[in-house]
Amino acid sequence: MKKIIYVLALSLLMFNCSKSDNNDDSIATFLEKYEGTVWVYSSFDEEFYLRVIDNVNSPFEFWEEYGDCYEYYLGTMDDDYDSVTTTKNSSNTLELKFVEELEGVEYMVLFTLTVTGNSMEIKYALYEDGKLTDSYSEYLSKTSVNVDNLTLCDDF
């Protein structure tokens, strides 16, 4: 699970998408439609929350459980990849493609968030020179938890 958080944080540092001024859900972008919604991932030994923000510079916030407190992360844009492309930005799916070439190898990450009802699938796929080398999905549930009331961990 920590792997998905780090992938999310790293990927979202590069995030870029467009915003529409139309509030009609049928044509709203993913960020417009789900702004303010909170999603939770829980397993036996960990829990984290994700809140969608309708802001192309910082589209997601994260709270990761550490014992009796939570670490807070804000996903912000950065320029570490050779290219970042929003390949899909529909009302229920956001797909981002990150490409970087290192030492002659092209690395591509497809990062897809898809909402169906009260469930969000976060799918991660890593390609090296066009060949799929790793992929997995995590599933989050929509929640009404007020993440602003979570106890944050003191800085170490």
What is the model's pTM? 0.75
Say how far apart CA 96 and CA 5 lie, in whole Å.
16
pLDDT, tens digit only, all 156 positions of the chain: 444 444 444 444 334 344 444 445 557 899 999 999 999 998 877 899 999 988 766 778 999 998 889 999 987 656 677 787 778 888 999 888 889 999 999 999 998 999 999 999 999 999 999 999 999 999 999 999 999 999 999 865
Bridge partners, 142 (sequence order) = 39
Length of the chain as a residue count: 156
**Segment holding 149, helix H or strand E:** none
How crowded is the C-beta side of 14, counted as CA atoms within 13 Å? 22
Report the pLDDT value the prediction gives residue 111, as an integer from 0 to 100.
86
